Amino acid sequence: MAKTILYIDGENLKNYIKTVLNKANIKEKNLNIENLDLSLLLENPLKKIKISEKKYYSAKLRFYKNTPKKSKELIHKQRIQKTNLERQGINYIIGGNVRPQNITINGKKKTIFKEKGVDVKIAVDLVTNTCDKIIKTAILCSSDSDLQPAVKEVVARGIEVIYLGFEINPNKGLIYTTNRTILIRNSEVLDAYKESVTRKKK
């Protein structure tokens, strides 16, 4: 039987959550998104949809000698998140890599880490699952415009694609390309985060 599968772009999701929390004056250094209960966040927006499988996509982290402290921190956080998500019944998928990039901000050099290849993995899975007749409905939790060509191909093959975005800054291209749009409200992000923090303290 064809499934309804949720495809989550992990880094994209975390960036939106951080933006919402920061706007609520919750400082980023105090955030602990790796322990967020995604089931709480998705419960209300997707309450009328029976989901067969949830896939969370993230990039592979490696240890870089030039940034040992940051490398260890990111690897540790990814392990925490993987354990947390698998406990929630979410399939944790590694696609692409995280690479350090040197940038200059206000005259100061800084190393940032950026994901590469996750969107490609999601696109490949979307098209492959469609061709293999595994899915009837795809829920895409990503606001990455690079996914539009894959979405168009999947929709053209008769698959329903639902764009799961955020109220704070929805992607107009994906709204246009997909069959339907569901937006996660800022209040739902805050409620899920606060409840996750409360449960963690117990």
Q: How far apart are CA 93 and CA 115, in angstroms?
A: 14
The range of the structural domain enclosing residue 97 comes to: 3-201
* Contact assessment for residue 162 and residue 137, using Cβ atoms and an 8 Å cutoff: yes
Q: How far apart are CA 142 and CA 1, in angstroms?
A: 25
Q: How far apart are CA 106 and CA 163, in angstroms?
A: 37
* Contact assessment for residue 154 and residue 138, using Cβ atoms and an 8 Å cutoff: yes
Question: What's the CATH code of the domain at 141?
Answer: 3.40.50.1010
Q: What is the chain's pLDDT, residue by residue, as a tens digit (202 residues)?
A: 789 999 999 989 988 998 998 899 886 555 577 778 888 899 999 998 999 999 999 887 766 566 667 777 777 888 888 888 998 899 999 887 666 566 666 677 655 556 666 899 999 999 999 999 999 999 999 999 999 999 999 999 999 999 999 999 999 999 999 999 999 999 999 998 888 777 766 5
Total number of domains constituting the chain: 1
**Which residue's entry shows tokens 């409200």?**
185
